[in-house]
Structure 1
Amino acid sequence: GLDVEMSVTNNFDEYYMAEPLKKEILEGNIDESLINEKVRNILRLMERLHMLSGKRARGYYNIPKHQEEALAIARESIVLLKNENKRLPLCEDKIKKLLVIGENANKIHSNGGGSAEIKALYEISPLMGLKKRLGGNTEVIYVNGYYVEPKMEENDANWQETSLEDALLSNRNKEISLETKVIRDLYLKEAVEQAKRVDEVILFGGLNHDYDSEGIDRDDMKLPYDQDRLIQEVLKVNPNTVIVMVAGSPVEMGEWIKNSKAVMWSWYAGMEGGTALAEALFGDINPSGKLPVTFPNQLNDCPAHLIGEYPGGKKVSYLEGIQVGYRYYDTHQMDTQFCFGYGLSYTEFAYKNLSIIANENEDVSITVSVETTNIGCVEGSEILQLYIASKNASVERPLKELKEFQKVLLKPNETKEVIFTLDRKAFGFYDVNTKQFKAESGRYEICIGSSSKDIRLQKIIELNNTYYY
């Protein structure tokens, strides 16, 4: 359970683990040994961090190694969602004028604080990353494209507490003024006119921390600030426009994605995110990220909305049960915008020679090996995903579940063997009747794929015994 209760208000004595917990202990409803256990957990962590001895290492802050790690992480996180006719990577030798559209091209996302945002010493925006990458041989033209109304002024009170109440809602739900509509029309017209006169266009859209934030649910999955209209109009005059989404959660793309040739996804990638994006767009690196969540086509495809439990009231029932996330979409065979584990590359990979060696003595030990080959022309990394499907479970189980994954870097025509080792936990579930985890005997399908819906190889194995843990 919870060892430390950390909220954002200053009424500390009223926290659940303050006076209310003390009262329960004094009345004998909670054993004091539970408190001792929590204190031991906290002291143990403090000891590991050398906080009790006073000899805590000073550490380092924003040294070159940290910046290199930030760049490496940003590179790994980029997801290529669409690349029709190999539209990407771009060729800089053919670009004399590059148009960059969208506030997210020039926006810094790590200038906040609190648990949902960080405050970095610097952040390379996508626009700065492109200018750094292209140097002086390409003219980079920037236009806003869409207009974001200025935020309401925050008062001197606890900004994080305020954010949990109504500040973000006020910024989101302001009625769009006539002035804002006029500015948006002007910005859109400027972007469309510029898009007709350049060699390449990259349009950066997505969300910001007015929408991706703690304590506040989004009302929908639509792009704010009239971005859908901007993207559609730009694609009409320049169908080769590359779309880059910067966001921390899925957005609906149905109004324009069929007309786009290339779509790249970037999360809030930190200090070096703009550097990494520029490298990916021009092929200095090969995108290798995979989606850690499902991107539904629309809000009403999300299980909570589909079932009808959102937004709920004082009581919300989790009627999806164990079918959480991708498990729901896969089990119910729902069409999605992009499935869990999805992500393209500038090369292609072939899978072959799936082999499974099962050993059941006192425990389950299963070795799964598979070979993957880079059958394209450039170096790239592939994430092989291992899913397990229970074929005759005694209780409801998802269609399949991700149990292991490995990332391998391959040169063109190179083949590598990838080995997974599975124990009883890979096949287990929590039995509500016996109140313990178990892996029951029966048939299981081992699936190897590039995403939850792109299974390349599979084999059936059988567990002869039931194991508890």
Structure 2
Amino acid sequence: MSVDKIAVPPLEEQLRLFAGLDAWNFPGVPSMDIPPMQVADCGHGVTLVAPPYGSASCFPTSVGMAATWNPALIEEVGAALGRETRAKNCRMLLGPMVNLHRLPCGGRNYETFSEDPVLAGKMASAIIRGIQSEGTSACIKSFACNNQQFDQKKISAEVDPRTLRELYLKIFAIAFREADPWAVMTCYNPINGEYPGDSREWLQGVLRDEMGFDGFIVSDWTALQGEGAIQSSCDMEMPGPGKVLTAERLRDALDRGLIDEAEIQRRMQRLIDLYEKCEPARKGERYSPPELDSPRHRAVAQRAAEEAITLLKNDGAVLPLDRSRIKRLAVIGPNAANARLGGGGSASVSPYFSISPLQGIRDLVGDDAEVLFAEGCSQGSNLPTVHADYLAPSGSDFGKGLTAEYFEVKKFLADDAPSVTQTDAQIDFSWGWASPATGLPRNDYVVRWTGKLRLPQPGKYRFSIATQEGIGRVDFDGETVIDCWNDFDEGNFESAYANLSGEFELEITKAREVELLVIYRKTKTRGGMHFGWETPFSQDPIEEAVELAKTCDAVVIAGGLSNQFEGGACDRKFFELPGRQAELIRRVAAANPQTVVVLKNGTPVDYRDWLDSVPALLEAYYPGQAGGAAIANVLFGEVNPSGKLPDTHPNCWEEVPSMHYYPGENGKTDYGEGLMVGYRHYDTAGLAPVFPFGFGLSYTTFEIGAPQLVGTLHEGGEIALTVPVTNTGDRAGKEVVQIYLEWVNPPAGRPPRALIDFAKVKVAPGETREAMFAIPYRELLTYNPASAAWELEHHEFNICVGNSSRSLQRIPLPLN
């Protein structure tokens, strides 16, 4: 609808349209009978922060989606997200986040796609098309250069005009061209000294005039700084009630001539256009019905996880594991019994269920093999987890865990019934920003575990708890033995953010059982709780894992990272695997040569201490709710791995040029590496990373034939490219054909080549299929800061074709 076709709302009503009603609702337009609009967070699931709370499907995080290199599949993921957002009575999903992986320590890299703007832009376009195909608005974010979490609200990204446009803005440009997102979110950080949300030059000049975006602009939460936002072209200040785009300040700006009523009406029109795009969804027209946790959503979540998993090493064809020969399998590691759904921060999803690698493997092999578990080591310094064998829920048998009751804080304090009651096998949780259970708020909950604890032999026991931003307590037989609860100061801001720990020693003369109560209350942002022990019969947990490995036909070690180490407001602090994981991998692999490592993580890790000791390695990223099932299917060959790395995996942080400028100083971080991000740097410097960009193995083999160009490329046109792909192995598989544009004798500061397109091709054994591409002339253009225009600054190019950035064949590109 258009305001020129209806009665224009009174000016005073118009002035109240540009700041949120509260934290999660845009205002409606009462005189036009347009209701308020609720929005939801996250990009790999729907996080509903305001009531009614609830769970949603959890898909692989964005770095895993990018590893599929399959836009059609990710468009299906987007459509599912669109339906689930509407099922939550929301009309905008605050995602995808698309900022480039400039730093290998980036806390939110898991939440974004890639080090390459073309891969990131095309995957973002796919998920946006899917979300909006179901009548939900996507909100691409964060505009722009939000590439680190350290001091992100203050530190200025200092980046030159060419690098800015050829890397950091290119992702947005691709998405605008290929997906037409209905909304854009501003970033927290200044760029070259200016906060984009407060800058007319950035929002009107660059985003709207230069890049052609004509949709809706919303601020990141509390990102607007001051009066500049009144003139910047920002359409909505969040959260509400506003502090800058208020009716009073907008009226004052009109009186002072800073803006005119025509600008107010343009912003109102964009708001109405956004509501109109979502309106058919509210009426149930044109789109699928709202949908949550449906069979097709579960299926697409698992397919996405399977296609993301990337086979990085497979010496001696250890994988796939042979079910007919494996009768005893050890599953070991700190990420084996835990699903690990993502890094920390606002992109935290509470799924209806989640499958750990241990559960996925047990479900798949059934009675065909005995699957045994040892944690081996924790991710940090915690004592080993107290496992289900020694725990019994109230009124039940040992081996099942504990009765877990999940409360809203106010209901717990009022001694009301819990919102959720279930059985938890152990207390080893890192919920991060997510809700721990369906129906609970993610910021205000209590969990109480009760049951029996079996102490099977005499001797000295040591118990511990460790909380994340919360308080906790342990009672034995009604007596408090660990108290990290009663000294909590509600009014102390810093106390709310504390991670607490406590220990208790108990020596017994004979075996016994105790009535156990463990309780946790989240006090701030990241939630988590661990209950561990050291027993008289304990041996070093790595020794225990080694002894187990010696008795098994094969070993799977599930390690990596979690939301304790990366996420919103939390860049990685170190490159190494946390805890004693490197030692665990080396020693277990020495005990059993049939050892496979599976990693869950959002950023690359240090391989130097252990990669040579293992024959096989799978990268699973954060694979979502069905991750354990997907990992099992790939391990046992039910699914042929087809993922490819969306990032270069470095040997060390020191060889990555952007790390030399991190985190910055004097309020600035210099993007002094220019265009040399990821594989561009390695290709320019002639360095070999551990694993190159675009790399990934398969259980079959492929041959990429000679590429053929048809015709000549001329200004404003495109040229056709065909690439034959033959499956030379004995099982069906998918190969990713990657197309790079190469500059012949590039000038200084220009990397030799860059990705311009890709296609994933499914090929049966012995079959040849052709991948077809159309290469447009615009891919040859580079940004000239002197003329502030895109120009043909080079005239001799090759087209490079292959299956990674380091496995390419080239042919000259004919130019008219």
TM-score computed with the length of structure 1 as normaliser: 0.86
2:296 partner letter = K
* Equivalent residue in structure 2 for 1:129, among 353, 360, 363: 360
Task: Provide the C-alpha distance between the structure 2 equivalents of 1:223 and 1:375, rounded to a whole number of angstroms.
Answer: 37
- The answer for unaligned runs of 5 or more in structure 2 is 1-142, 144-185, 187-216, 224-237, 383-465, 472-487, 502-524, 527-532
* Equivalent residue in structure 1 for 2:275, among 34, 42, 46: 46
What whole-Å deviation, never above 9, does each CA across 1:143-191 have from its counterpart, x for those lacking one? Answer: 1111243333437x9xxxx99x96689999xxxxxx89x9997211110
The structural deviation recorded for 1:6 is: 3.0
Helix, strand or coil at the partner of 2:683: helix
1:239 partner letter = P
Helix, strand or coil at the partner of 2:358: helix
Match status 1:151 vs 2:467 = yes
The structural deviation recorded for 1:308 is: 4.1
Match status 1:69 vs 2:303 = no
Query: Do the aligned residues in 1 keep the contact of 2:780 with 2:792 (CA within 8 Å)?
Result: yes
The residue that corresponds to 2:335 in the other structure is: 104
The residue that corresponds to 2:703 in the other structure is: 350
Rg (Cα) greater in structure? 2
Query: Do the aligned residues in 2 keep the contact of 1:146 with 1:230 (CA within 8 Å)?
Result: yes
The residue that corresponds to 1:280 in the other structure is: 634
What whole-Å deviation, never above 9, does each CA across 1:430-464 have from its counterpart, x for those lacking one? Answer: 22122122344511110001101111x21112434
The residue that corresponds to 2:615 in the other structure is: 261
The structural deviation recorded for 1:412 is: 1.2
Helix, strand or coil at the partner of 1:81: strand
Equivalent residue runs for 1:411-422 within 5 Å? 411-422=764-775
With over 3 angstroms needed to count, the CA separation of the structure-2 counterparts of 1:433 and 1:211, relative to structure 1, is same
Task: Provide the C-alpha distance between the structure 2 equivalents of 1:339 and 1:21, rounded to a whole number of angstroms.
Answer: 52
* Equivalent residue in structure 1 for 2:812, among 448, 454, 460: 460
The residue that corresponds to 2:675 in the other structure is: 322
Percent identical pairs in the alignment equals 33
* Equivalent residue in structure 1 for 2:542, among 164, 188, 213: 188
What whole-Å deviation, never above 9, does each CA across 1:242-296 have from its counterpart, x for those lacking one? Answer: 1111111111111010111000010111121111110100011100000101111
The structural deviation recorded for 1:117 is: 1.8
The structural deviation recorded for 1:358 is: 3.3
Helix, strand or coil at the partner of 1:89: coil
The residue that corresponds to 2:789 in the other structure is: 436
Task: Provide the C-alpha distance between the structure 1 equivalents of 2:300 and 2:722, rounded to a whole number of angstroms.
Answer: 30
Task: Provide the C-alpha distance between the structure 2 equivalents of 1:30 and 1:321, rounded to a whole number of angstroms.
Answer: 37
The structural deviation recorded for 1:112 is: 9.4
Task: Provide the C-alpha distance between the structure 1 equivalents of 2:765 and 2:241, rounded to a whole number of angstroms.
Answer: 62
2:568 partner letter = E
The residue that corresponds to 2:291 in the other structure is: 60
Helix, strand or coil at the partner of 1:98: strand
Task: Provide the C-alpha distance between the structure 1 equivalents of 2:625 and 2:563, rounded to a whole number of angstroms.
Answer: 16
With over 3 angstroms needed to count, the CA separation of the structure-2 counterparts of 1:292 and 1:166, relative to structure 1, is farther
1:135 partner letter = G
The structural deviation recorded for 1:399 is: 1.4
The residue that corresponds to 1:116 in the other structure is: 347
Helix, strand or coil at the partner of 1:353: coil
Task: Provide the C-alpha distance between the structure 2 equivalents of 1:366 and 1:430, rounded to a whole number of angstroms.
Answer: 22
Query: Do the aligned residues in 1 keep the contact of 2:649 with 2:690 (CA within 8 Å)?
Result: yes
Range with bigger deviation, 5-14 or 254-263:
5-14
* Equivalent residue in structure 2 for 1:383, among 736, 748, 758: 736
With over 3 angstroms needed to count, the CA separation of the structure-2 counterparts of 1:459 and 1:221, relative to structure 1, is same
Query: Do the aligned residues in 2 keep the contact of 1:364 with 1:424 (CA within 8 Å)?
Result: yes
With over 3 angstroms needed to count, the CA separation of the structure-2 counterparts of 1:227 and 1:36, relative to structure 1, is farther
With over 3 angstroms needed to count, the CA separation of the structure-2 counterparts of 1:357 and 1:36, relative to structure 1, is farther
The structural deviation recorded for 1:40 is: 3.9
Query: Do the aligned residues in 1 keep the contact of 2:681 with 2:751 (CA within 8 Å)?
Result: yes
The residue that corresponds to 1:335 in the other structure is: 688
1:154 partner letter = G
Task: Provide the C-alpha distance between the structure 2 equivalents of 1:325 and 1:166, rounded to a whole number of angstroms.
Answer: 35
Query: Do the aligned residues in 2 keep the contact of 1:304 with 1:310 (CA within 8 Å)?
Result: no
With over 3 angstroms needed to count, the CA separation of the structure-2 counterparts of 1:353 and 1:248, relative to structure 1, is same
Query: Do the aligned residues in 2 keep the contact of 1:147 with 1:184 (CA within 8 Å)?
Result: no
1:141 partner letter = L
With over 3 angstroms needed to count, the CA separation of the structure-2 counterparts of 1:166 and 1:314, relative to structure 1, is farther
With over 3 angstroms needed to count, the CA separation of the structure-2 counterparts of 1:103 and 1:361, relative to structure 1, is closer
What whole-Å deviation, never above 9, does each CA across 1:288-319 have from its counterpart, x for those lacking one? Answer: 000101111112122222x3443544111100
The residue that corresponds to 1:200 in the other structure is: 554
With over 3 angstroms needed to count, the CA separation of the structure-2 counterparts of 1:8 and 1:204, relative to structure 1, is farther
The structural deviation recorded for 1:29 is: 5.3
Task: Provide the C-alpha distance between the structure 2 equivalents of 1:415 and 1:168, rounded to a whole number of angstroms.
Answer: 57
1:294 partner letter = T
Task: Provide the C-alpha distance between the structure 2 equivalents of 1:256 and 1:111, rounded to a whole number of angstroms.
Answer: 24
The residue that corresponds to 2:424 in the other structure is: none
Query: Do the aligned residues in 2 keep the contact of 1:110 with 1:120 (CA within 8 Å)?
Result: no
Task: Provide the C-alpha distance between the structure 2 equivalents of 1:142 and 1:269, rounded to a whole number of angstroms.
Answer: 21
Range with bigger deviation, 234-243 or 341-350:
234-243
With over 3 angstroms needed to count, the CA separation of the structure-2 counterparts of 1:332 and 1:395, relative to structure 1, is closer
Query: Do the aligned residues in 1 keep the contact of 2:320 with 2:637 (CA within 8 Å)?
Result: yes
Range with bigger deviation, 206-215 or 10-19:
10-19
Helix, strand or coil at the partner of 1:93: coil
The residue that corresponds to 2:220 in the other structure is: 6
The structural deviation recorded for 1:385 is: 0.2
Task: Provide the C-alpha distance between the structure 2 equivalents of 1:389 and 1:30, rounded to a whole number of angstroms.
Answer: 47
Helix, strand or coil at the partner of 2:742: strand
Query: Do the aligned residues in 2 keep the contact of 1:101 with 1:201 (CA within 8 Å)?
Result: yes
Range with bigger deviation, 362-371 or 13-22:
13-22
The residue that corresponds to 1:228 in the other structure is: 582
Query: Do the aligned residues in 1 keep the contact of 2:737 with 2:801 (CA within 8 Å)?
Result: yes
With over 3 angstroms needed to count, the CA separation of the structure-2 counterparts of 1:20 and 1:188, relative to structure 1, is farther
The residue that corresponds to 1:290 in the other structure is: 644
The structural deviation recorded for 1:348 is: 1.2
2:559 partner letter = G
Task: Provide the C-alpha distance between the structure 1 equivalents of 2:337 and 2:581, rounded to a whole number of angstroms.
Answer: 16
The residue that corresponds to 2:725 in the other structure is: 372
What whole-Å deviation, never above 9, does each CA across 1:175-222 have from its counterpart, x for those lacking one? Answer: xxxx89x99972111101111111111111000111121111111111
Task: Provide the C-alpha distance between the structure 2 equivalents of 1:432 and 1:184, rounded to a whole number of angstroms.
Answer: 65
Query: Do the aligned residues in 2 keep the contact of 1:76 with 1:289 (CA within 8 Å)?
Result: yes
Query: Do the aligned residues in 2 keep the contact of 1:46 with 1:52 (CA within 8 Å)?
Result: no
With over 3 angstroms needed to count, the CA separation of the structure-2 counterparts of 1:225 and 1:352, relative to structure 1, is same
What whole-Å deviation, never above 9, does each CA across 1:57-94 have from its counterpart, x for those lacking one? Answer: 65111110111111111111000010001110000111
Helix, strand or coil at the partner of 1:72: helix
The structural deviation recorded for 1:429 is: 2.0
Task: Provide the C-alpha distance between the structure 2 equivalents of 1:406 and 1:414, rounded to a whole number of angstroms.
Answer: 17
With over 3 angstroms needed to count, the CA separation of the structure-2 counterparts of 1:38 and 1:214, relative to structure 1, is farther
